Amino acid sequence: MSGADAAASGIEPFDAVDVIRRKRDGGAVADDALRWMVDAFTRGYVSDAQMAAFAMAVLLNGMTREEIRVMTDAMIASGERMSFARLGKRTVDKHSTGGVGDKITLPLAPLVASFGVAVPQLSGRGLGHTGGTLDKLEAIPGWRAALSNAEMFEQLQGVGAVICAAGSGLAPADKRLYALRDVTGTVEAIPLIASSIMSKKIAEGTDALVLDVKFGSGAFMQDIGRARELARTMVALGADSGVATTALLTDMNTPLGRAIGNANEVRESVEVLAGGGPADVVELTVALAREMLALAGRPDADVEAALADGRAMDAWRRMIAAQGGDPDAALPAPRETHVVRATADGIVDRMEALPFGIAAWRLGAGRARAEDAVVHAAGIDLHKKPGDAVRAGEPVFALSADDPARFARALDALEGAWSIGETAPASAPLVVERITA
């Protein structure tokens, strides 16, 4: 019996309590019962309390690969499914699990699009210590995140890349379930994380997908083993759904790049598109671009050349202008700055990503609640990174805010989060592992 049939007849084919008990006791939920659970939750028949109990049971007992696939399919079926088949060219998207200073989407989308590949990048906003791509781009005067499906399609045809907000019609069941997980201590359930991310990406209709799954201090998954499990689960979901998917495991123990915030991360992204920028941001942008282009049938594309010769910058300017932004406009500047200087000569040997993310959040670059506004000019600029030599009195980093009263709490978050020693830290690879189906 379908959800519509059940709603019309008043007779439901399953009982939520039975489904919860099955998972609570470590069993696998039958496909039709799991599909019903998601559908009935979307219709409001299964209560928030019941779905929260089910989510806790999943957190404690996990799910089989088949269960995760079925739940993801049910999430997709709760809303619309987009298609870019009429574009006449391959589409490839990228998703990052989030980190501190992670602005990679900004230079990456136009870089890949400069090779004639369509990049439909549906992105989100920041919450807590991880920044949001849409918040960064909204620092550009006039730029808008909300596009209709028709506008998105038109921009992909003409420009080749679009970064915009996901419509409410994509996987609405996931939106409701995520809100519950956020307040019931079940966000960390890997099957539910994987289903949440992949349901939206598959419903989006992209041909291929590259995942940047981060681990370390500033990542959602701090343990590399759990990050690897999440990556493998999502890659399997992509394969099961006919979406070519690969994942890179990347280190997020140290902030990415030298800018943490919104407007300053846009500036740094433009530096990369102009052929410069921090080495780690360039390295990860190039690595992800190669993955995306390989999945799109362009494995021999010279991505470094596209950054050096201006093709990627041209695509960036067209993408920003197509969404109402002025790529030449001045970005917001902070009213106040506070510089933290070295007290001794030495080498910066440690900068923990999470405290720097929290400090930027406290400065106003992030939000504590979904309805909060961000201060686009707020953030942190790192003058030194681990491995850099520093002399006493030289700036190590600078805090920016519109309200100087915010500096004290930001500095509290950074207490003990960085240090200067006598030797450089051991080098660690940024991209640790590549995971395929």
Q: In the annotation, is 95 catalytic?
A: yes
Confirm if 58 and 23 have CB atoms less than 8 A apart: yes
Identified catalytic residue from 73, 93, 174, 381 = 174
3-state secondary structure of 246: strand
Identified catalytic residue from 125, 129, 181, 317 = 181
Identified catalytic residue from 96, 123, 195, 196 = 196
Cα(426)–Cα(198) distance, rounded to whole angstroms?
35
Q: In the annotation, is 200 catalytic?
A: yes
What is the sign of the dihedral through the CA atoms of 299, 302, 303 and 304? Answer: positive
**Cα-based distances in Å from 381 to 38, 160, 321, 403:** 44, 31, 27, 17
Cα(109)–Cα(285) distance, rounded to whole angstroms?
9
Q: In the annotation, is 181 catalytic?
A: yes
Q: In the annotation, is 302 catalytic?
A: no
Q: In the annotation, is 103 catalytic?
A: no
Identified catalytic residue from 69, 200, 214, 362 = 200
**Cα-based distances in Å from 19 to 29, 49, 75, 187:** 7, 13, 17, 20
**DSSP labels, 198-243:** HHHHHHHT-SEEEEEEEESTTSSB-SHHHHHHHHHHHHHHHHHTT-
Identified catalytic residue from 35, 69, 90, 95 = 95
For the purposes of burial, counting CB atoms within 10 Å of the CB of 432, is it exposed (0-12), middle (13-18) or buried (19 or more)?
middle
* Catalytic sites, residue numbers: 95, 174, 181, 196, 200
